[in-house]
Structures are given as C-alpha cells and as structure tokens.
Amino acid sequence: MRLEKERAGRLKTSEVDTKYGEGGLLDIYFATRFLQLRDQVPDTPDSRSTDSILNRLRERGSLGQEDFEAFSAGYAFLSELDHNIRLTVGRSTRVPQTNHQAMAVIAKRTNFASASVLLERLAIHRIEIRRTFDSILQT
C-alpha cells in the first residue's frame, strides 16, 4: 500500500499506472509472494516466473481457481500492455490515455478494436486483480 501511495498516488485522477496503481502488477506480485511465504511454497530453481508461481500456488491449494484466473489473466494482460506501452512511448508504467495516437497503436498491437475497448478491458482486469488481492490479504 505504501508503494501504491508513493508511486501511483501522484497520478492525476484520470491516469492509470499498470505497475504501482490499484489493481496493478504489484498487487499480483505481493499477493503471490505472501501466499508463498504463508504456505511455504518455495521457488523452484528452474522457474521463478509469475506464471509458474501462480500455477504452483493453485496446484498446492493456496490459490483457488477463481483467484488464479483473475491473477493469471490480469498478469498476462498487464504484461502485454506494459510491453506495448514501452514499445510505443518508451519506458513508462502509465497508460498514455491522453495520447490518442499512441493509444491507437497500442490497441492495434494488442488486438483490440479501439483504445476505448482496451481501456474497458484494463478496468475490468484491475477491478478483478484488486478484489483478489484484498481477498487474499484481507485488507
């Protein structure tokens, strides 16, 4: 919460930070690490990827199917969005919503019909990620 407040707290109300903002990548990272520590699910030497950890947590019963799906789908979406933001506007964790040309390019690269459809999907993923994060950490 502190990182969210410090990093994303300076955002304008219309800005979205895919890493530090509510429902962002850090929600997934922190919740998965919390579950690993709580349930003693260590990393494996061959893979420390978030996808691998999410699968192992689900297999061990630390993460229910609904929560797994929310984190897994959200992580895939945010990772792809982050990658395409970097390709389009450079190193940034913020969605360039006011840059219509960049948003059109990002939407096309991520196979969305328009920037508005992309932003709608982003909102849905962020809500599901934060709901899952809150449920796991009971904040």
Task: Check residue 72 and give its pLDDT.
Answer: 97
Instruction: Kindly state the tokens that stand for 133.
Output: 């994060």
- Distance from C-alpha of 123 to C-alpha of 53, rounded to nearest angstrom: 24
Q: Residue 28 corresponds to which tokens in the numbers above?
A: 């997934």
pLDDT tens column, 19-74: 988 999 999 999 999 999 999 998 888 878 899 999 999 999 999 999 999 999 99
Residue 11 clears pLDDT 60, i.e. is over it: no
Are the C-beta atoms of 19 and 26 separated by less than 8 Å? yes
Its CATH architecture, for the domain 2-137, is Up-down Bundle (1.20)
pLDDT for residue 121 is more than 90: yes
Q: Which amino acid is residue 78, in one-letter code?
A: L
C-alpha–C-alpha distance, residues 8 and 84, integer Å: 20
How confident is the model over 118-128, as a mean pLDDT? 97
**For residue 8, is pLDDT > 50?**
no
Helices (H) and strands (E) in the chain, counts: 6, 0
